[in-house]
Amino acid sequence: MSYLVIEGLHKKYGQSTVLSNINMEIEKGEFITLLGPSGCGKSTILRIVAGLTDASAGKIAIEGKDMYGVQPKDRQVGMVFQSYALFPNMTVQENVAFGLRMQKVHSVDLEQRVQEMLALVHLSEKAHAYPKELSGGQQQRVALARALIVRPKVLLLDEPLSALDAQIRKKLQTDLRAIQRKLSMTMILVTHDQEEAMAVSDRIFVMNNGSIAQSGTPTEIYTRPENEFIANFIGHYNVFTRQDLEQMLGEPLSEQYSKFAIRPEALHFDKKNNDMCLTGKAKQSLMSGNIIRTTFEGETLFTMEQLHQQGYTIEMGKTYKCYVAKEDVIALS
Ligand SMILES: Nc1ncnc2c1ncn2[C@@H]1O[C@H](COP(=O)(O)OP(=O)(O)O)[C@@H](O)[C@H]1O
Ligand SMILES: [Mg+2]
């Protein structure tokens, strides 16, 4: 049996269904991400796992033990939120030590564990500072240390990085992943940011409207979207109706499917064997870092992405042939 099992979870608030039939099996030491738009039920899952909200139906088990009726404080589940919720009148060190004091851990042992934890989150030098003297990123590191020090079985992180600016967020993503690996901690991160999910996770559960739309490794989710929601939510896929795509390609596609997706970077100007061809007039080019994203107009609009150093100059208004390998035309269910 998996380390954390979520089985047939349903949640209703009054008449409205917020979660329907959520099933997840998570192994010890896995980094799992719940990814989805705002309001799709991500936080509700975390709250049910932590015991802060009751499910309407379904089961949570940790290490084979049914959590039904187990109080939040007895579940050994830690939580970190977007708002750091530190104790303002305690130093960094005192904040981090808090959970161990509650457990009446011996002072020698306590001191050592606090020092180790501060080193792990790169805050040893800030041990005696107060939260208000720290940046947002540093405060979130304290919150993380405070949650980790009591060695929870599962750590739940609800959009912990969403309030931070892009550069700090990237740095903390890397650190969070390194810490998780070092401790082999089982973590569930909630985010609405697909890049963040791709960057840190072993597996991603993409949610839509209270259900799991697809789960898999970042590569599986990115390269094999199963439906239109995933294709649109992850990585700016071009989504076509079968009729439009058949018109543009000039050849028939499987009648079993009504929608198809093509990744913008799967399109290219140099024809390779067996490539299919989309023809379109260049409408607009935008540069985003190292990537040039061009919109073409054929039967419908579609987008192509190229690396800047590929060095093509695309003339607006001119018609181009954009090629794609057959296996990069993905049928959606
Ligand atoms: N206590 C509550 N009472 C009624 N509706 C709620 C409550 N908590 C959350 N909801 C609703 O449940 C849905 C899912 O919320 P939530 O899990 O917070 O979404 P997410 O974290 O994905 O943004 C939302 O439509 C929200 O309005
Ligand atoms: Mg939420």
What pLDDT digit, counting tens, does each position of 247-290 carry?
Answer: 888 889 999 999 999 999 999 999 998 899 999 999 999 988 88
Pocket lining: 38 vs ligand 1, CB cutoff 6 Å: yes
Number of domain units in the chain: 2
pLDDT at residue 152 in the model: 97
Least confident of 64-68, 233-237, 244-248, 264-268: 233-237
Q: Say if 55 falls within a structural domain.
A: yes
The reply to whether 60 and 189 lie within a common domain is yes
Q: Is the pTM of this model over 0.85?
A: yes
The reply to whether 274 and 193 lie within a common domain is no
Pocket lining: 47 vs ligand 1, CB cutoff 6 Å: no
Pocket lining: 162 vs ligand 1, CB cutoff 6 Å: no
Q: Say if 243 falls within a structural domain.
A: no
The reply to whether 42 and 188 lie within a common domain is yes
Asked if pLDDT for residue 234 goes beyond 90, the answer is no
Query: Relative to the alpha carbon of 45, which ligand is closest?
Result: 1
Share of the chain above pLDDT 90, in %: 88
CATH number of residue 105's parent domain: 3.40.50.300
The reply to whether 117 and 54 lie within a common domain is yes
The reply to whether 264 and 228 lie within a common domain is no
The reply to whether 293 and 183 lie within a common domain is no
Pocket lining: 19 vs ligand 1, CB cutoff 6 Å: no
CA end-to-end span of the chain, whole Å? 31
The reply to whether 217 and 78 lie within a common domain is yes
Asked if pLDDT for residue 52 goes beyond 80, the answer is yes
Measured in Å, residue 213 CA sits from the centre of ligand 2 at 17
The reply to whether 139 and 264 lie within a common domain is no
Q: Say if 113 falls within a structural domain.
A: yes
Measured in Å, residue 301 CA sits from the centre of ligand 2 at 33
pLDDT at residue 110 in the model: 93
Q: Say if 211 falls within a structural domain.
A: yes
pLDDT at residue 235 in the model: 73
Q: What is the mean pLDDT of residues 208-234?
A: 95
Confidence of residue 224 (pLDDT cuts 50, 70, 90): very high
Ligand 1 nearest-atom number relative to CA 46: 17
Q: Whose C-alpha lies nearest to ligand 1, atom 3?
A: 13
Q: Say if 247 falls within a structural domain.
A: no
CATH number of residue 305's parent domain: 2.40.50.100
The reply to whether 132 and 212 lie within a common domain is yes
Q: Say if 296 falls within a structural domain.
A: yes
Confidence of residue 205 (pLDDT cuts 50, 70, 90): very high
Pocket lining: 41 vs ligand 1, CB cutoff 6 Å: yes
Average pLDDT of the chain, as a whole number: 94
pLDDT at residue 312 in the model: 75
The reply to whether 68 and 207 lie within a common domain is yes
Confidence of residue 16 (pLDDT cuts 50, 70, 90): very high
What pLDDT digit, counting tens, does each position of 69-105 carry?
Answer: 999 999 999 999 988 889 999 999 999 999 999 999 9
pLDDT at residue 250 in the model: 85
What pLDDT digit, counting tens, does each position of 284-312 carry?
Answer: 999 888 899 999 998 899 999 999 877 77
The reply to whether 74 and 219 lie within a common domain is yes
Q: DSSP secondary-structure letter at 329?
A: S
The reply to whether 194 and 307 lie within a common domain is no
What pLDDT digit, counting tens, does each position of 164-196 carry?
Answer: 999 999 999 999 999 999 999 999 999 999 999
What is the distance between the alpha carbons of residues 33 and 222, in angstroms, rounded to a whole number? Answer: 14
Strands 238-241 and 77-80: unpaired
User: Domain of 212?
Assistant: 4-232
What is the distance between the alpha carbons of residues 316 and 2, in angstroms, rounded to a whole number? Answer: 55
